[in-house]
Amino acid sequence: MRESAGVNHSSYGLDNHGLYNLNDIYWNLPTPSLMEQAIFRREGQLSHLGPLVVRTGHHTGRSANDKFIVDEPSVSKDIWWGDINKPISEEAFDNLHKRLASYLQNKDVYVQDCYAGADSDYRLPVRIITENAWHNIFARNVFIQAEREELADHVPGFTVIDVPRFHAIPEVDGTVSETFIIVNFSKKLVLIGGTSYAGEIKKSIFSVMNYLMPQRDVLPMHCSANIGPNGKTALFFGLSGTGKTTLSADASRTLIGDDEHGWSDNGIFNFEGGCYAKLINLSAENEPEIFSTTMRFGTILENVTMMADSRRLDLDDSTLTENTRGAYHISAIPNATLDGVGGHPDTVIMLTADAFGVLPPVSRLNSAQAMYHFISGYTARVAGTEKGVTEPSPVFSACYGAPFMPLHPQRYAELLGKRIDEHKSKVWLINTGWTGGPYGVGSRMAIPHTRAMVNAVLDGKLDDIPMRKDPIFGVEIPTQVPDVPIDVLFPRDTWKDQGAYDAQAMKLAGMFRDNFKKFSLQVSQDIKDAAPKAG
């Protein structure tokens, strides 16, 4: 086993992870060295101004069905087992680990020792061991880099071994396919194989933090966070397509982070040191800060189309996937804070894109309603092109991040309610979806109106405005918002056929209640009572 020369590394060797007889071990290489390695090994190509363009093969997104948690005594009673958190035996994990270690013998590996968690009181030392050099650049970009003097004493609290070219044998290993993402909490180890999609590395550590942090009275959150000119922090929850990245990336506010955070007694802290942004149809006009990262040395561009002759990008091309991605260090965002922390949030915004056209564009939630909508994690997809599909379909993702939550959603909701009550945070539901009717009849909420509502919320301009209670969803709707027409605020008034609105609203309310049934045994009565009115 040979070590790379001239680079500080921990005395905690790879034999502690069951890896022996390796070839070269490249410890904590800086980004330029890793870029050279990636180019030399033909893992990717440099595009205009220096980003590395890579292809992830047939896996261009997460493999949700291939994720497992080892069912062992220390976690067995805590995990919310089901379709998302699927168990696998200790024996199956150990056998797969041994075969993976055998595969890596006489091969080169790349190691990054870094951290998850910007608050030093809660940070988790992590080690990312990769088969590909570009995956190590990804790790440097999205996790918090260790200082050089910290490397010698770095002992990982959790380790990821990422080996894309090693595949499971389902009938032998107990997996669903040749791809696997397996978390073992007792061994503090994640094994990833059969996929080159780098997001699996990031999200596996997020899942680990989502298990560990509640044990320390910290709420882990799938949200973005920023700080206003007045020094007040705001959180933005929302699933894909709701506008979370766009609305939180405000040049007049300081970005803490765009995806993963913790809320502790100290305040808000970023789990990460970088961003992993969706790039499809990105434009310099609408998102200039993110757009600039696509022309920056060190950025990793996944499955983005590049012109062969000029090496320039076509960010509108979805030939390979709609899920084109860019991974870059947070220092690439000019209005980001590099310390990754903020105070207790004054404002919590939950975003939804209601394609049924019935939720109000802005409404205030009490604590129980906040927990109800947090557990529900609602948005909607527009009607597809399949024959017979004529209306939107609801999407419910608990805690706005169900695939990454190992515990029951009630555990996270209780922490949210506790923090909201302790710090008197105001919670608002913002609907960026349809008005005047459902998708296909009405129109998408005007972006200037949505921005005006968000700004009014953040600036406290709605705190003393009279409210009207929605008769079905129970939320409070402000009777006026600066720069927003009053008729836009009340969705029933925007429909030509108000009877059709009533029917559609009751239908969506029923969908909320049906989805919530699976949580009913563990959820407190006050949260149940916050459900929309029954039909």
Residue 450 Cα distances to 445, 455, 488, angstroms: 7, 9, 11
Closest CA to 96 of 189, 159, 25: 189
Q: Identify which of 402, 345, 393 has the alpha carbon closest to the alpha carbon of residue 519.
A: 402
Which residues is 192 bridged to in the sheet?
Answer: 162, 181
Residues 339, 328 contacting (CB under 8 angstroms):
no
pLDDT at 505 exceeding the cut of 50: yes
Is 62 a catalytic site residue? yes
* 283 is known as an active-site residue: no
Does the structure show a pLDDT above 60 at 302?
yes
Bridge-partner residues for 87, per DSSP?
Answer: 69
Match 């206003």 to its residue by tokens: 228
Query: What pLDDT was estimated at residue 390?
Result: 60
Is the pLDDT at 317 greater than 60, yes or no?
yes
Known active-site residue 244: yes
Residues 415-425 have pLDDT tens digits of: 999 999 999 99
Q: Which CA distances in Å does 152 have to 83, 111, 118, 156?
A: 41, 13, 20, 12
pLDDT tens string 229-268: 999 999 999 998 888 877 887 889 999 999 999 999 999 9
Confidence of residue 4 (pLDDT cuts 50, 70, 90): low
Angle at 519 between CA 518 and CA 525, to 5 degrees: 135
Residue 402: partners with Cβ closer than 8 Å, 6 or more residues away: 84, 377, 409
| Average pLDDT of every residue of the chain | 94
**Per-residue confidence band for 535, with pLDDT thresholds at 50, 70 and 90:** low
Active-site residue (options: 135, 203, 419, 449): 203
Active-site entry in 245, 347, 432, 450: 245
pLDDT band at 522 (very low <50, low <70, confident <90, very high): confident
Question: Which among 187, 222, 373, 411 is annotated as catalytic?
Answer: 222
Beta-strand pair 67-70/86-88? parallel
> Which of the residues 113, 259, 346, 354 is marked catalytic?
259
- Domains of the chain (ranges; CATH) run 2-29+63-216 (3.40.449.10), 345-523 (3.90.228.20)
User: Is residue 388 scored above 60 in pLDDT?
Assistant: no
pLDDT at 121 exceeding the cut of 70: yes
What is the band of 169 on the pLDDT scale with cuts at 50, 70, 90?
very high
d(CA 296, CA 310): 16
222 is catalytic: yes
With H, G, I as helix, E, B as strand and everything else as coil, classify residue 473.
Answer: coil
For 323-332, what is the mean pLDDT?
Answer: 96
Check whether 124 has a pLDDT greater than 70: yes
Residue 55 reports pLDDT greater than 90:
yes
- Report the 10 Å Cβ neighbour count for 266: 16
pLDDT band at 286 (very low <50, low <70, confident <90, very high): confident
Instruction: Give catalytic status of residue 325 as yes or no.
Output: yes
Average of pLDDT values for 41-59?
A: 97
Q: What pLDDT is attached to residue 386?
A: 43
Options 9, 154, 244, 261, the catalytic residue = 244
pTM of the model: 0.94
The whole-number pLDDT of residue 1 equals 53
pLDDT of the residue at 523: 86
For the residues 96-122, what does the mean pLDDT come to? Answer: 98
Q: What pLDDT, on a 0 to 100 scale, did the predictor assign at position 366? A: 95
Q: In which band, very low, low, confident or very high, does the pLDDT at 398 lie, cut at 50, 70 and 90?
A: very high
pLDDT at 385: 38
- Annotated catalytic residue within 4, 240, 246, 305: 240
What's the confidence (pLDDT) of residue 391? 74
The single residue of 17, 140, 167, 325 carrying the catalytic annotation is 325
pLDDT digits (tens, 9 = 90+) for 173-232: 999 999 999 999 999 999 999 999 999 999 999 999 999 999 999 999 999 999 999 999
Q: Quote the tokens at residue 418.
A: 């506790």
Cα–Cα nearest to 394, from 350, 354, 436: 354
pLDDT at 482 over 70: yes
The pLDDT value recorded for residue 476 is 97
pLDDT for residue 90: 97
Cβ-based burial of 435 (10 A; exposed 0-12, middle 13-18, buried ≥19): buried
